[in-house]
Amino acid sequence: MNEPIKWTKNNMPETDCSQSLSLLTLPEMEKAHRFHRSFPQYEETPLADLSHLAAYLGIKGFYVKDESFRFGLNAFKVLGGSYAIAKYIAGRLGKDISEISYETLVSDETKERLGDLTFYTATDGNHGRGVAWAANKLRQKSVVLMPRGSSRTRLQNILSEGAEACITDLNYDDAVRLANSRAVKDPNGVMVQDTAWEGYEEIPGWIMQGYGSMSYEAWNQLEAVGVERPTHIFVQAGVGSLAGSVTGFFANLFPDNCPVITVVEASAADCLYISALAGKLVSVGGDLSTIMAGLACGEGNTISWEILKNHARFFVSAPDWVAARGMRVLGVPLKGDPKVISGESGAVTTGLVFSLLRHDNYRDLREALGLDGSSTVLLFSTEGNTDPEKFRDVVWDGEFSSFEK
């Protein structure tokens, strides 16, 4: 019998999260999106309309934002790292980010004024590749530390961007601490991490703003097909920066009628789910072993938590089979629906929605969410097949199969 999906409704008392929400207002998102549009590699990533799947599941609409096309890097993470680096450089140049473009960043003048910098980070792969890519474009250095068990393919992708990178024998959160200690000791070092902690919150806030470009695009794409507001949003979480960014954007956009937002974590690293049960931010330790490498984080982002505890409606702890199911559903679509090649961390929300609507043993969560024939669901496939070997193991060979019928 497979490990079950666990969930809880958010029953935490409301607190003042206005400062965190202010990072994710529509004007701030427009500013981030304007910056990303200045990249010569920029193309809006597609919003897949899975209308046949929606009909099969008995809901009104099923939309998946496909980030496998983002800047040729196969994942959304570069949005946050590049924007944080740009805001840091804007500050060094005495400018607002609205005055900074891709051309400004890569110019000889900017390089001469900045001198030599080294950007440090820890990652399972996607975030580090984005930071390394941005640093490479800037003709600067990057140092990327990866937790034990990380994919060799993801390491090679980071090395190919000119980074100094290695797989450590540490878990994700300890790799973050090591990267930060090295950055602090380097007079030209800058830590670029989406995990926030006391004393380190400015750059993680900028990263969350950068992620907002994805939500901003999705909102405009939904409007273009006649969807003014999704009724439900499911968003995956590692440290919670993406989840906080998505939740904050839509909470600002629809302050009086926010979509039902559900935060989805890997069960091996479900610190936000456990925090929701505890009513306060707590961490989980250990190996955090899961196929959802991008979600294998045991310590939540403090900025994001302020948003999630006030505006997320549900928290879900999802076993690996849920992600595997989502990968297969997206990769082998119903006739007439577009194919979405989604990696383990990108597909978990699809696997969850599919399971909730197909199996009566999850009727309690389905009914609590209010998923029915009037529901329009928005999901974010945050990565493509960033680990091709693992992707084939799951989609071709049926690894992590669910036996529920």
Full set of structural domains in the chain with CATH:
6-76+203-395 (3.40.50.1100), 78-198 (3.40.50.1100)
| Of 194 and 210, the one with more pLDDT | 210
Would you call 63 helix, strand, or coil by DSSP? strand
Q: What is the pLDDT of residues 63-86, one digit of tens each?
A: 999 999 999 999 999 999 999 999
Cβ atoms of 321 and 385 within 8 Å: the answer is no
Q: What is the pTM of this model?
A: 0.95
> 292-351: per-residue pLDDT in tens?
999 998 899 999 999 999 999 999 999 999 999 999 999 999 999 999 999 999 999 999
Instruction: State the pLDDT at residue 405.
Output: 47
For residues 331 and 326, give the distance between their C-alpha atoms in angstroms, rounded to a whole number. Answer: 8
pLDDT number for residue 401: 83
Residue 185 predicted with pLDDT over 70: yes
Under a CB-based contact definition with an 8 Å cutoff, are residues 293 and 171 in contact?
A: no
Q: What percent of the chain has pLDDT over 70?
A: 99
Which run of H or of E encompasses 6?
strand 6-9
Cβ partners under 8 Å of residue 324, min gap 6: 291, 344, 347, 351, 394, 399, 400, 401, 402
Selected catalytic residue, list 31, 65, 77, 87: 77
Q: Is 280 exposed, middle or buried (0-12, 13-18, 19+ CB in 10 A)?
A: exposed
Whether the Cβ atoms of residue 138 and residue 102 lie closer than 8 Å to each other: no
Which residue in 385, 399, 329 sits closest to 154, CA to CA? 385
Higher-confidence residue: 100 or 120? 120
Q: Give CA–CA dist 255/245, Å, rounded.
A: 15
What ranges make up the beta strands (E) of 282-387?
314-318, 376-381
Establish whether 31 is a catalytic residue. no
Q: What angle do CA 82, 380, 213 make, to 5 degrees?
A: 35
Residue 194 has pLDDT above 70, yes or no: yes
Q: What is the pLDDT of residues 143-173, one digit of tens each?
A: 999 999 898 999 999 999 999 999 999 999 9
Q: Which two tokens stand for residue 163?
A: 């980074």
| Residue 154 pLDDT | 92
Tell me which of 120-124, 209-213, 329-333 is least confident: 120-124
> Within 13 A of 12's CA, how many CA atoms are on the CB side?
26
Q: Check if 77 is active-site.
A: yes
**pLDDT mean over 78-107:** 93
pLDDT at residue 218 greater than cutoff 60: yes
Instruction: Give me the percent of the chain exceeding a pLDDT of 90.
Output: 88
3-state secondary structure 140-171: CEEEEEECCCCCHHHHHHHHCCCCEEEECCCC
- Options 124, 173, 174, 320, the catalytic residue: 124
Write the DSSP assignment of 209-263 as a string of letters: HHHHHHHHHHHHHHHHTT-S--SEEEEE-SSSHHHHHHHHHHHHHSTTS--EEEE
Distance CA 129, CA 254 (A): 33
The length of the chain, given as a count of residues: 405
Cβ neighbours of 288 (radius 10 Å) = 25
Burial 327-365 (b: 16+ CB within 10 A, else e): bbbbbeeeeebeebbbbbbbbbbbbbbbbbbbeeebeeb
| Other CB atoms within 10 A of residue 3 CB | 13
- Separation CA 201–CA 336 (nearest Å): 45
CA distance 405 to 397: 19
How far is residue 219 from each of residues 91, 167, 222, 380, measured CA to CA in Å? 29, 37, 5, 12
286: left (phi over 0), alpha (psi -120 to 50) or beta: left
Q: Are strands 6-9 and 314-318 parallel, antiparallel or unpaired?
A: antiparallel
